[in-house]
Amino acid sequence: MPELPEVETTRRGIAPHVEGREIVEAIVRQPRLRVPVPDDFVERLVGSRIGILSRRAKYLLLPIEGERDGSLIWHLGMSGSLRIARLGDLPKKHDHVDLVLDDGAILRYHDPRRFGFVDWLAGSLESDPRLANLGPEPLSEAFDAERLYRLSRCRRMAVKPFLMDNAVVVGVGNIYASEALFLAGIDPRRAAGRISLERYERLAAAVREVLAAAITQGGTTLRDFVSGTGEPGYFKQRLNVYGRHGQGCRRCNGELRLVTLGQRASVFCPSCQK
């Protein structure tokens, strides 16, 4: 599933091609996504302009400026990608939605599993239930060790699913939670409420370090993800634990172990992570 670095990489890749451009045609080939494409999707968009793109957690937000102002909220699901195509580029089997722009560029949504969606947001972002109760962005000043420590008190759940809770902090999915916990030297099975403030300071710093590095590397391509310009992400080459169970730890060469936490596979080093 595309996580925060992949979505941020997508935003940065497509923004220069779509911001300020007029939508001259909207094509919906497959409306049956996880959330059905709105019936008036084409009517709302044609003739309007795209504003400045933003991201909230794993959602991409495209402001639409026209007779009926609002925003498109886009989620890439398990296998979705947004890419820039040009007039004459024939759509592939799973290219479900096109926004044709006034300079001939096409914002094209590709999603083999159809777990993603694009929906219309008429009101403020805070009024949408998908966005209203989200925690802070992990690269913002609102995310810090004090928040992790305070919210974790008396919590018996393991620290890894705690860190992946979007009400605690957004966008720290399975890959990057595993990697951050390794950098911080914290066992993902340890109860969140039994971790000290000092150790949460290391974890918060590790989350920021891992996510910033992943964005710089264009995200992580494990199977489906490509950027807005069609490039894979290269952070996979820097993974320390995720997907490496049974292999040697890059620090101590001990064997990495695999456990299941919150129904998600978690790989860690029992020697380096306590």
Annotated active-site positions, please? Answer: 2-3, 58, 264
Q: Check the annotation: does 94 bind a ligand.
A: yes
Structure tokens at 33: 């996504």
Burial class of 37 by CB neighbour count within 10 A (0 to 12, 13 to 18, 19+)? buried
Q: Check the annotation: does 150 bind a ligand.
A: no
Q: Please, how many CA atoms are within 13 Å of residue 47, restricted to the half-sphere of its CB?
A: 7
Q: Check the annotation: does 153 bind a ligand.
A: no
> What's the CA gap between 126 and 111, in Å, rounded?
27
Other beta carbons within 10 Å of 114: 16
Between the CA of residue 127 and those of 49, 74, 130, 186, what are the distances in Å? 23, 16, 9, 37
Q: Which residues are annotated as a binding site for DNA?
A: 94, 113, 155
Q: Which residues are annotated as a binding site?
A: 94, 113, 155
